[in-house]
Structure 1
Amino acid sequence: MAKIALIGAGSATFTRMLLGDILSFDELAGSTIALHDIDSERLDTAIAVAHATARETGAHPVVEASLDRRAALDGADYVINIIAVGGHAATVVDYEVPLRHGVRQTIGDTLGIGGIFRALRTIPVLEGIAADMAEVCPNAWLLNYTNPMAMLCWAIAEGTPQKKVVGLCHSVQNTTRQLAEYVGVPFEEVTFLGAGVNHQAWILRFERAGESLYPLLDEAIARDPDGLQRHVRVEMYRRLGFFPTESSEHSSEYLPWFMRHDDMLERFRLQPGCYVQESLENLDEHARVRAAIAAGEPLPVEPSIEYAPQIIHSMETGRVRTVYGNVRNEGLIDNLPHGACVEVPCLVDDAGLQPTKVGALPAQCAALNRTFLNVGELTIKAALEGRREHVLHAAMLDPNTSATLTLEGIAALVDDMIEAHGDALPEGIRRTTAVAR
């Protein structure tokens, strides 16, 4: 049986969802589940969640848990990474410090000044995980869920010996199901192709029986001026011709045209700081789950559409599936940089995971993706090389930050963010003098 390690298992809700799917497969029901978290209270909750989920699914896994990461990783076949370095407190910093400088964000975990600093404090931890894996489970697959997805998977492939890595998200699954609802077609009848960068990939084909469903989408949008027409992603589709795979809240802060303008916030119903509230709700949900377990209440298991359990099942059984993964661009998308992390369809079976070559994206879509990847590349260089000036360069090229602040303002913001996050950042970034203004 497989050994599956969950790193950051104290995320009780996500751990419960993933284990519910994993343990619902008969072939995985006897797997070894190794849980790791740096917080002992959260780890205790994760252990209880694992046992409760096993009872609900009728599975009999071997549940192990350790505050020692290497012990959890030892002998693993699959490593699922769901860490959040700095937790809620760091999320608040990522929002409040930029806001004091006039930079508004909705989520702040993928691009923008928040995404840059989330990457900077997460990459060193991932380097440690990869180093441990090289020693105690060198053949394991690393299945990453942590954001900023493209930056982190790129950094792992670029800066560590861990090459069997794929980043997993639910953007493509959710978007295509949502589009099917918009056009009134059962999802089972839809075929599609998506590709691009995580949180900014594009639905290149959206069809039923070989016929494009985009005309039906156009009709649905035209009928709904106070609904669909007030979504950022619909505006992107109208302007660029292909529907993007991430929510309007996320998408708005990857672009220069929305967050700085009050009228755009109102028109597209955007709420700066909404992720801080969501993070607080996650804390409340963790407390609710812990209380439910203490009271002996059951934890219902509902199937999800997450990819990690499907990938593990396919690799263990040989069942062929197509998933969307974030992988190194080695001839997959012609007009995005070689070596960057891109999101493409991947075939998965007992031979592993094989990405699909997509070719060239539409020119306008690739151009916007490159502005996204520019920020990621410089952030990765800053982290791996300890180059503080590259943090400034990344912020200078970020669409939302550069649309809001002058160069001097960006430099002041970067200095304040480095000071606020302190020891969580790579040493070279911390110890260097303030960036030039």
Structure 2
Amino acid sequence: MTRIVFIGAGSVVFTRQLVADLLLFPDLPPLDLVLHDIDPARLEVARGTAEQLAARFGRPLRVTATVDRRAALDAADVVVDMIQVGGIETTSVDIELPATFGLRQPISDTTGIGGVFRALRTFPVLSAIARDMRELCPDALFLNYTNPMAMNIWWLSVVSPGLRAAGLCHSVYWTVHDLCELIDVPVEGTHFRAAGVNHQAWLYEWSRGGEDLYPRLRDTIAADPELERRVRVEIFRRIGYYPTETSEHSAEYLSWFLRSDEQIERFRLVPGQHLATAEQNLAEFHAAQRALAEGRELELDDDGAAAEYAPQIIHSLLTGTEREIHTNVPNRGYITNLPPGAVVEVPTTVDGSGLTPITVGAIPTQGAAHNRTYLSVAELAVEAALTGSRDAVLQAMLVDPNASSTLTPDRLADLVDRMFTAHHALLPSTLGGGAELDLSDVPAPRSPR
């Protein structure tokens, strides 16, 4: 029986979606689903969710829940990672502390100072998971949903290069889904491909029945001036290709939007917006907890198709079905005008043999130029944890477009120091933090380059 392990299964809404998507495939064999979380209450809700869905779908699914990570990983075939180290409390710090310095972030989990410190908190846990996997399930496929995506996969490629790992994000799929809705074209039958970095990939192919759909999008935008108040529309106008993440995420990757009150108002941005989302997720957890205790059915997003990539990959691995998705992987020549070894997002073929990233070649020069800026921030974050250099964290912020366009170097240095103090217990021991980070298995030299 194929053993699927969810690490961080207490992310209840996401676990619900992944399990539901898995069970939508009628030709999957019986699965052994193992749920792991460090929070027993959340783990119990995840277990109850999986069992209820299996009963509702009438599908064979053996569900086990454990707070013991090593027990969960033993003999795993596929490991799906969705951890959030520190929970909502650290997310609040990532947004609210920089805001006291005047640095505004709507999301703060992928780039910028929030993204970098989220990465630094996550690296020790990822290293421990990789160490366990090398011992307990060395051939397993590791599928990461945890942000910051590119930094986390980059870290794993350095500290555990033998691990079969890929990062998954639904941003490309939902971007195309939403664009098709905007121009009133069915998404079914649409051909699309994007490439770049996670949350800043560029939709370089988008067609249906041989028709390039970009002219329709341009006409739709021209007919509605309010669309020009969207961050992604502004990026599309200036770059020429549509970016594959929400406006709130996209704004943090550039210096254009968050540096002034005028731009924030013009593009209808809400600094700190992610805190409301985190509170909503907490409310969703409590609602699921009550529903299970009362024997009520959980609500599902019922569109009749598996939208998330991890269930699609598992289905392809077990049935041989070939499909194309997008994954985040170290750049082994897939994008020729982005740095080798950096983590890029590219189209990927998946079938019974596994994942095969597609060589894209050169992406549009103007898009690659902005991608390189983000990759420099990610590289410095990885280097900081590897070398124990706090200076590298500040240097990452001096490169980051939003941070460096908003604060002076002196103010950024003060903010970085405050963030180190606030997150001390969860930061890598290499940086003086309280989280053990064993680099004894890291191949020399210890550098992300």
Q: TM-score, structure 2 length as denominator?
A: 0.94
1:392 corresponds to which letter in structure 2? L
Contact 1:75 1:137 in 2 (8 A): yes
> Quick one: which amino acid aligns to residue 254 of structure 1?
Y
Which stretch of the first structure deviates more once superposed, 17-26 or 349-358? Answer: 17-26
Where do 5+ consecutive residues of structure 1 fail to align?
Answer: 433-437
Find the residue that maps to 2:30 and give its secondary structure: coil
Match of 1:70 in 2: 70
Query: Which of 336, 341, 344 is 1:342 aligned to?
Result: 344
* C-alpha distance in 2 between matches for 1:30 and 1:65: 17
Which residue in 2 is equivalent to 1:309? 311
Offset from partner CA, 1:59-80 (integer Å, 9 cap, x none): 1211111111010010110000
Give the residue type in structure 2 aligned to 1:269: R
Which residue of 2 is the match for residue 374 of structure 1? 376
Aligned to 2:285: 286
1:26-425 correspondence to structure 2 within 5 Å? 26-28=26-28, 30-226=30-226, 228-301=227-300, 302=302, 303-425=305-427
Asked whether the equivalents of residues 427 and 433 of structure 2 are also in contact (C-alpha less than 8 Å), the reply is: no
Cα RMSD, aligned residues only: 1.2
TM-fit CA distance, 1:212: 1.5
In 2 relative to 1, CA 26–119 (structure 1 residues): closer, same or farther, beyond 3 Å? same
Which whole-Å CA distance do the structure 2 matches of 1:384 and 1:53 have between them?
Answer: 42
Percent identity reads: 52
Q: Closer, same or farther in 2 for the Cα pair 1:24/1:207, shift >3 Å?
A: closer
SS in 1 for 2:38: coil
**C-alpha deviations, 1:165-223, integer Å up to 9, x for none?**
11000110001111112222111232122111010000012122223111111110011
| Distance change (3 Å), C-alpha of 1:173 and 1:30 | same
SS at match of 1:6: strand
Counterpart AA for 1:284: A
- Counterpart CA distance in 2 for 1:140 and 1:355 is 18
Q: CA deviation at 1:94?
A: 0.2
TM-superposed CA distance for 1:299, in Å, is: 2.0
Q: How many angstroms does 1:163 deviate by?
A: 2.9
Q: Residues of 1 paired with 2:117 and 2:19: CA distance?
A: 30
Amino acid at match of 1:155: W
Q: Distance in 1 between matches of 2:55 and 2:93?
A: 39
2:230 aligned partner, one-letter code: H
Query: Matched residues in 2 for 1:431 and 1:80: separation?
Result: 27
The letter of the residue matching 1:312 is I
Deviation string, structure 1 residues 265-302 (Cα, Å, up to 9, x no partner):
11110000000110011000000000000000012443
| 4+ long deviations beyond 4 Å | none
* Matched letter for residue 332 of structure 2: E
Spell out, residue by residue over 1:135-160, the C-alpha distance to the aligned partner (whole angstroms, 9 max, x if none).
00100000000000011011111121
Give the distance between the partners of 2:199 and 2:7, measured in 1 at CA: 23
1:292 and 1:98 map into 2 onto residues whose CA distance is 37
Q: Is the 8 A contact 2:77 2:141 kept in 1?
A: yes
Unaligned runs of 5+ in 2: 435-449
Q: Secondary structure at the match of 1:333?
A: coil
Kindly state the Cα deviation for residue 386 of structure 1 after the two structures are TM-superposed: 2.1
Cα deviations across residues 68-117 of structure 1 (Å, max 9, x unaligned)?
Answer: 10100101100000000000000000011101111000000000000000
Paired residue type of 1:168: L
Query: C-alpha distance in 1, partners of 2:188/2:72?
Result: 39
Question: CA offset at residue 46 of structure 1?
Answer: 1.0
Alignment partners' CA distance in 2, 1:386 and 1:336: 26
Amino acid at match of 1:307: Y
CA separation in 2, counterparts of 1:369 and 1:278?
27
Query: By how many angstroms is 1:393 displaced?
Result: 0.9
1:23–1:159: structure 2 CA closer, same or farther, 3 Å change rule?
Answer: same
Contact 1:95–1:105 (8 Å) recurs in 2: yes
Distance 1:430 1:419 in 2: 10
Q: CA deviation at 1:127?
A: 0.6
1:131–1:161 contact (8 Å) kept in structure 2: no
Confirm or deny: 8 A CA contact 2:24 2:306 kept in the other structure: no
Counterpart Cα distance in 2 of 1:123 and 1:144: 13
One-letter amino acid of the structure 2 residue matched with residue 415 of structure 1: D
Q: Secondary structure at the match of 1:62?
A: strand
Give the Cα–Cα distance (whole angstroms) in 1 for the partners of residues 430 and 390 of structure 2: 7
Amino acid across the alignment from 1:193: R
Residue pair 1:130, 1:161 contacting (<8 A) in 2 also: no
Matched residues in 1 for 2:163 and 2:386: separation?
A: 16
- Mapped to 1, the partners of 2:181 and 2:258 lie a distance apart of 28
What is the rounded CA distance, in whole Å, between the counterparts of 1:377 and 1:161 in structure 2?
A: 16
Paired residue type of 1:174:
W
- Match of 1:188, SS? coil
Deviation digits for residues 298-317 of structure 1 (CA, Å, limit 9, x no counterpart)? 12443441000000010111
Q: What is the distance in 1 between the residues matched to 2:44 and 2:92?
A: 25
Measured in 2, the distance between the counterparts of 1:25 and 1:247 equals 29
Report if aligned partners of 1:23, 1:29 keep a CA contact under 8 Å in 2.
no
In structure 1, distance between residues paired with 2:254 and 2:176: 22
Point out the more displaced range, 382-391 or 394-403. 382-391
The CA distance in 2 between the partners of 1:304 and 1:28, in whole Å, is 13
TM-score, structure 1 length as denominator? 0.97
Structure-2 residue corresponding to 1:435: none
Change (3 A) 1:213 1:169: same
